[in-house]
Chains A and B, each alone.
Chain A
Amino acid sequence: MFKPASSDRFNPGRLYPNPVNLILSFLNTIFQIRLFAAGKIRWLFHFFVFAGFLYLVTVHAFHQVTAVVLFDYYDPTVDPFQFLRNLFGSLVVAGCILFFLRRGLRLRVNQIKSNWGSHLKYKGLVSIILVFLIVGTGFLLEASKIISEPVFMEMVEDYSDLEEGDELEELKLFWQEKAFVSFDPTVPADPEKLKNGQVLNEVYCISCHSDIRSSFVSCLLADLMSFYGTVLNQTRVDVMLYRVHYGLCLALIVFLPFSRLNHIFLIPLSIAVKNQAPKTHHQKTAQVFGASLFACTNCGYCSQVCSVYPHFQITGNPDVLPHSKIETLKKIADKHPDVSLWGLQKGNNACTQCNKCTQICPSGIDLQTLWAVTHRIFSDNALVNNQTFFNRILPEAWADLETEPRMLIARQELVSDLIEKTDAFENCIQCTICTNVCPVVEYDSKDNDYTPQQVMNLLRLDQKHLASGTRMVWTCLTCYACQDICPQKIPVTDIILELRHLGGVRADAVKLQQTVKKRVEIS
C-alpha cells in the first residue's frame, strides 16, 4: 500500500557531510550545475544573463561598497572596469537575445502542451525584459555620456583648471576625434592641435579615463548616436537616460520578490533548507510550503522527464505533471478560491516516486518531499486514493452507505457494461475453478475476503455495491487466469475491473460529500 518515500533516502545531499554540502550548493548557485545537467542551451543563456548581471550588480551598481573598497584606482571609466562592464553587459544582452529567440522560434525542446495559464506564459517575460532594458539603457546611457558635451564641460570644470582657450580646444579636439564627443560647433581638425590635446588628456584625464574603445559596445552606440549628437546633447538625453536607467533598477528591486527573479534567493534558500533533515510531517510541510514551492521557475524540466507522462496524455489531467502540480499547490498556498483539488489528488496518486523530477530540477527543489506532503494532506482530509479508501472500509459497510446520486462525477461511458448485463455472469455454476487458479487467493489468503466466484455470485444476488467494495476487487492482479480457465466463459477479470470502476466512481462521490461537509483546511 502507499508509503510516501523518505526524502532522506533520495536526497543526494545526504550522502555528503554538511560542509561539503554547503560548498556544493554554493557552486550550484554560481555555476548552476543542475541547470547545466538539465538543458545546455537554457544553461547557456541563463549563465550569460546571470554572470553578466551578477558582475554588473556587484561591481558596477554597488561599486561604492565593492570595487571602490577593493581597488583604490577604481573608476567606472577606467580599464579593466570599463571593458568588463561592457563585456558583462553584452553577455547579458546576448543572453536576453538568446532567450527571446528561443521563445519566439519555439526552440524549446519537448514543449509540453498543457494548461499553463496565460499569466504563466508571460510571467518570466517581464523580468527578462526588465533586465534587458536595464542593461540596454545602461549602454545607451554610457553612450550618451560619451557623446555628451555638457558632461565633458562638467568634467573639465571639476577635474582641470582649463579655461576657455586654445588648450581647451585642443583637448576638445582630442576628445572629439578619439572619444566620440559631439561638440557643437564641431572642432575643426588639426593634427598639431590633436597631438597637444593628447598630451593634455594624459595630464588631466587619463588617470580616470581609459581608452574609450574598451567600452566596445557603448562607443559603437556613441558613434551611431553622434549623428544626432547636437540634439541629444541639447535635450540632455544622458540625464534622461540616467533617470530611466536608475528608475528601472529601482523597479527591478521592487519587482524582484514578485517576479520570477526571486528565485535568486529562493533557490539557495530551498536547497539549504532541503539539506536539513526534516523529521516530522509538519516540518516537511513547513519546508515545502515555506521555501521550496516558490523557488519554482516554471522551467518545465521536471515534467519533461516525468515517468507517468503517458497518464497525462490519456487522461488529459495536467496535474499528473510536476510543473502543473506545483502551480496548483502554489494556488492552494495562496488560498486561491478557484482551485480544483480533484485533479491534483488524482494526478498525485499517479506519481510513482521515481524521483526523476527531483533529480533534474534546476532549482534544486525537493519535489519528492513535496509530493509526499501533498499526499498526506489529502489523506488527512479524507481525500485518500481509492485503493487506500477501500482498504479502510468493510464491504458490508460500503454496501450500506448512502450516496446522493447527483454527487456522482460523470465518467466516460463504459465500452461494455458487464455488471448490468446479467448473461455475462449468470452462467456461473460455482465450480470454484477460477478461485483455484487465482494467485491472489493463493498468496493473500489470510487477508482476501470474497473469492472470484463468490464475487460473481454476489452480482447474481443483486449485491453489486457490496461486490465493488470487496478486497478481491481491489487486489486483483488482472492476470486473467480466472477468465481464461472458466468452463462457462464468464469474463471474470473484466467484471472485476468494472466493479473496481464502479466502486471508484461511487467512492469519489462519497469523498466529495465528506470533503464538502468538513471544510478542507490545508495548512
Chain B
Amino acid sequence: MNLKNNATISCDLLVIGSGIAGMVAAARAASLGLDTVLTGSSSGFFLTSGLLDFLGVYPVESSQVLESPFNGLDQLRKQNPDHPYSKIDNKTILESLDFTARILSSGGLEYSSAKNTNVNILTSAGTFKPSFLVPQTMIKGSSIGSGKKKILLADFKGLKGYSAALIAQALKRRHMDVTTVTIQVPQLTGDFNVMRMAALFEDDAFLHRTAKQIESSVQDREILGLPAVCGIHNSQDSMKKLENLTGLDCFEIPGLPPSIPGLRLKNAFETHILKNKVRVFNNVKVAFTAFENEQILFTTDGEPFRTQIAAKGVILASGRFPGRGLAAHREVIRETVFDIPVYHPQQRSLWYQLDFFSPQGHPVNRAGILTDSDFRPVDKTCQPLCENVYAAGSILAHNDWTRLKSGAGVSCVSAFCAVNHFHARKKIK
C-alpha cells in the first residue's frame, strides 16, 4: 500500500495501533467485511512474553491466583463495574478469545487453552504465572505444577539472562524433582543475541547436536524445559523434532525481552491480516484533523508524504506509555491522538506506591480512557466523544493488567466487541 502525497484514503474503519488489540480489531473488521486500514508499529510484541492472559489474579490486594478466571470474573464484575470485562458477557468473551486463537492458527501459530481454566506457566525467574491462551510450545510445561514430574532444565552457555540453575533452585523450594544441564554452542561465542540462538533451532543438525549433548542427562527424566528460543518461523516443528530426538516432552520457558514468542505472535498476526486484505501502514503515525460529515479525518505524520485518511470509524488501540498512546507529564496524563481526557489520580504523588511490588498495585496503572458499554470513550458528562470512535486494549481505564494478569484478554475482548458494535451501528444506517 503506497502512501501518496496529498492523496486521501477512505476506509470504513481505521485501527490506530498495531499491538494485540489493534491486530484483533483489524482481523475482526476484515472478517465482517469492513474496509480496514491498520496503522502503528508492532515492535511492542518483542516486549511481550507470547502468553495471552485472560484473568490471572483477583482480587489483586490479596494476590489471589485464580484457577478459574470465570469465578474471578463474577467477583470482578460486582466489585469493579468500570472494568472492561464488566461491559461484556461471558459468551462474548469466550467468542473473542476463540476468534483470537483461530486467527493465530491461520497465521501458522497454534495456541491452546485448558478448558476455561488458567494454566500455570513456569517463567525464567523460577516463578509461575497464570495465563489462559498459551502457545503450543509452552503448554506442556503446565503439567509440572502437579509436582510429580521428573524435570530436566537446559540452558545454553552464553545465553544472557537465563539460568537453569536459578529456575531449578526455585522449583526445588517447591519440592520438585529437578536436574539441570548446560548446552554448549560452539558457533555462538561471547556476546550473542537471542535471535541468532533462535534461528539455529531451525537447523536439523543443530537439533541433533543439542539432543546429543543432553543425552547423558536424560536418564529418568520425563520432561525438558528450555528457554523460549526454539525457532522463529517453525517453532512447533522444531519442538516436535526435539521431542523425538530426546524422547522427552519439551516445553519453552518465557523470559526477558527481546521475546521470540512475542516475535512469533507478531508474525502470525501479520500473516493473517495481510491474507485478509487489511491495508497496513507500518510505522505510520496519524494525527487527528477533524470530524467532518460522518467521517473522521487524519493526516499521516511525518515528511515527506502527507496523506489524508478519511475513516467512518476509528478504533483507538494505541497502548499506554511505552506505546505512546498515553503520555505522562509532570502534572497530567494526556491521550496523544484525540486528547481525550484521561482518568487518573490528580496528584503525581498518588500515582505510585512506595513499594514497587505493592500488593495493591500502583494507582496510575488503573488510569486510562473511560468508555461507555460499547467501548466508546466518554467525556466528563459520560457522553461518547463521537459516535464512531472506539477505544480498545491497554489504554482503557480501571485495568491494572500487570497485576490482574489480564493484558491480552482485555485487548482481544475489547477490540472484538468494539468492532462488533461499530459494525452493528453501520449496518443499521
Contacts and interface: CB of A to CB of B under 8 A. Distances in A.
Direct contact of A and B (CB under 8 A): yes
A457 to B, nearest CB: 14
Interface in B28-56: 41, 43-44, 46-47
A399 B196 CA distance: 30
A487 B44 contact: yes
B41 to A, nearest CB: 7
B72 interface: no
Interface of A: 431-433, 435-437, 441-442, 445, 451, 484-487, 489
B261 to A, nearest CB: 14
B166 interface: no
Nearest to B263: A436
Given A436-B46, A484-B43, A487-B41, 7 more contacts: A433-B258, A436-B193, A437-B195, A445-B196, A485-B46, A486-B43, A487-B322
17 contacts: A433-B43, A433-B257, A436-B193, A436-B195, A441-B193, A442-B196, A442-B199, A445-B192, A451-B193, A484-B43, A484-B282, A486-B43, A487-B43, A487-B44, A487-B46, A487-B47, A489-B41
Interface of B: 41, 43-44, 46-47, 192-196, 199, 257-258, 282-283, 322
Contact of B46 (A431, A442, A484): A431
Q: Which 7 A-B pairs have the closest CB atoms?
A: A436-B195, A487-B43, A433-B46, A433-B258, A485-B43, A436-B193, A436-B258
A456 B215 CA distance: 42
B99 to A, nearest CB: 26
Contacts of A431: 46-47, 257-258
Contacts of A436: 46, 193-195, 258
A484 B47 CA distance: 15
A26 B43 CA distance: 68
Contacts of A441: 193
Contacts, number: 37
Contacts of B282: 484
A437 B196 CA distance: 9
A57 B47 CA distance: 86
Contacts of A445: 192, 196
B347 to A, nearest CB: 26
Contacts of A484: 43, 282-283
A316 to B, nearest CB: 24
Contacts of A432: 193, 258
A458 to B, nearest CB: 15
Contacts of B322: 487
A441 to B, nearest CB: 7
Contacts of B43: 433, 484-487
Nearest to B43: A487
Nearest to A436: B195
A484 B40 CA distance: 11
Nearest to B197: A436
Contacts of B257: 431, 433
A432 B195 CA distance: 10
A70 B194 CA distance: 88
B394 to A, nearest CB: 14
A450 B47 CA distance: 23
Nearest to B259: A433
A436 B258 CA distance: 8
Contacts of B193: 432, 435-436, 441, 451
A437 B192 CA distance: 12
A433 B194 CA distance: 9
A518 B44 CA distance: 55
B32 to A, nearest CB: 30
A318 B98 CA distance: 67
B395 to A, nearest CB: 16
Contacts of B47: 431, 487
Of A432, A451, A489, most buried by chain B (CB within 10 Å of CB) is A432
Nearest to A489: B41
Nearest to A442: B196
Nearest to B196: A442
A436 B43 CA distance: 12
A30 B192 CA distance: 66
Contacts of A486: 43
A451 B190 CA distance: 13
Nearest to A453: B193
B332 to A, nearest CB: 20
Nearest to B195: A436
A442 B196 CA distance: 7
A432 B47 CA distance: 11
A64 to B, nearest CB: 77
B6 to A, nearest CB: 22
B233 to A, nearest CB: 14
A273 B195 CA distance: 56
Of A431, A441, A486, A487, most buried by chain B (CB within 10 Å of CB) is A487
A485 B41 CA distance: 8
Nearest to B45: A487
A451 B192 CA distance: 10
A275 B278 CA distance: 64
A419 B104 CA distance: 41
A172 B349 CA distance: 130
A340 B52 CA distance: 66
Nearest to B192: A445
A132 B322 CA distance: 81
A485 B45 CA distance: 10
B85 to A, nearest CB: 27
B195 A442 contact: yes
A486 B323 CA distance: 11
A92 B325 CA distance: 82
Nearest to B191: A451
A435 B193 CA distance: 8
Of A431, A432, A436, A441, most buried by chain B (CB within 10 Å of CB) is A436
A442 B44 CA distance: 22
A126 B300 CA distance: 64
A431 B43 CA distance: 11
A29 to B, nearest CB: 56
